[in-house]
Amino acid sequence: MSDDGGAPLGSGLHYEGLVPLAWEPAPAGLDPLSLQGDNAEVLRFITAIDEFAKPAHGEDADRQGELARIEGKLDILLELVAQALREQAQLPEAVPVRLSTAAIEWRAVQAPSVNSPILLSLYLHTSYPRPIRLLANVQDVEPVGQSHRIDAHFQDMDETLSDWLTKLIFRYHRRSIAQHRRG
């Protein structure tokens, strides 16, 4: 779990933040590719939500002036629906996460065993409380105080899902840099 160049999280772009996360032992015979379609759909919807919330520029700014009232009402509706879904879904506890397209590192009180296959559920957007579910193999578990730092590598992620996850991580990474620069 070091930041050396050989580790998936040590090389390349990653996202760090608090993310609701749950894990369970991987069900026997579960094919990672069977999860790909649902995961790509979740990431596509999250991207659409982020794009919808992004301010427009240039010619789009003129159109946005006309649509501002409608978008404001849609924002209110989206927030109400998201709030109802969050209450109904009972999301898992948000934990510190470092996420790349190849691996994840998180902290938790309960930890899986090293070399065990697990099924992760990650809730990556508060306005869309539907998880991406990824099969991973636990590479390392390190005690840290009263909790553990867990490092797991994703299994058999297809190119489409990897592309959607890369876009999301890049957007979140860019947003965190901008927030850091603002103070």
Question: 112 in a domain, yes or no?
Answer: yes
To which residue do tokens 């965190």 refer? 176
> Residue 173 belongs to what domain range?
15-48+91-182
Rounded Cα gap, residues 47 and 165, in angstroms = 10
> Looking at the 3D structure of the chain, how many domains does it have?
1
Question: 63 in a domain, yes or no?
Answer: no
Question: pTM for the whole thing?
Answer: 0.76
Question: 6 in a domain, yes or no?
Answer: no
Strands 15-25 and 132-144: unpaired
State the greatest distance between any 2 C-alpha atoms of the chain, in Å, as a whole number: 56
SS3 35: helix
pLDDT tens by residue, the chain, 183 residues: 434 444 566 567 888 989 999 999 999 888 777 788 889 889 888 888 777 555 555 555 566 566 676 776 777 777 777 677 767 768 899 999 999 999 999 999 999 999 999 999 999 987 788 899 999 999 999 999 999 999 999 998 889 888 999 998 998 878 878 888 887
Question: 129 in a domain, yes or no?
Answer: yes
Indicate which CATH number applies to the domain containing 124: 2.40.10.220
